[in-house]
Amino acid sequence: MDLRFRPRDLVAELREKAREIADDMNEGMPAAALKIGIPVALPEHTIEGEAADTIDEMLDAFGRIYRGEGDPEEIAWTIIDPNRTMEA
């Protein structure tokens, strides 16, 4: 049995799990606290949410490289290390 996810399916699964985790972390928090801005757990701040964002960024970079949009090395480095400067 092949349990491999396609990348977009994996992103969807990770985002769903991130929502579940954030909901669990926020469970029991009074609605008033949420309205006045007391910190809450957000799906994008979970490791699952971060992983989904990273995979999305990688898929976008692969697409740009495939379509010939810019320098492939520079595109790759924007994902690998966004703070790296390209050497002239």
Over residues 56-82, the pLDDT tens digits come to 999 999 999 999 999 999 999 888 887
Q: Are 78 and 58 within 8 A, CB to CB?
A: no
Give the pLDDT of residue 46. 95
Q: Is the pLDDT of residue 2 over 70?
A: no
Q: Residue ranges per domain, the chain? A: 7-80
C-alpha span between 21 and 63 (Å, rounded): 30
C-alpha span between 52 and 72 (Å, rounded): 22
Look at 1-15, 24-38, 49-63 and tell me which has the smallest mean pLDDT: 24-38
pTM of the predicted protein model:
0.75
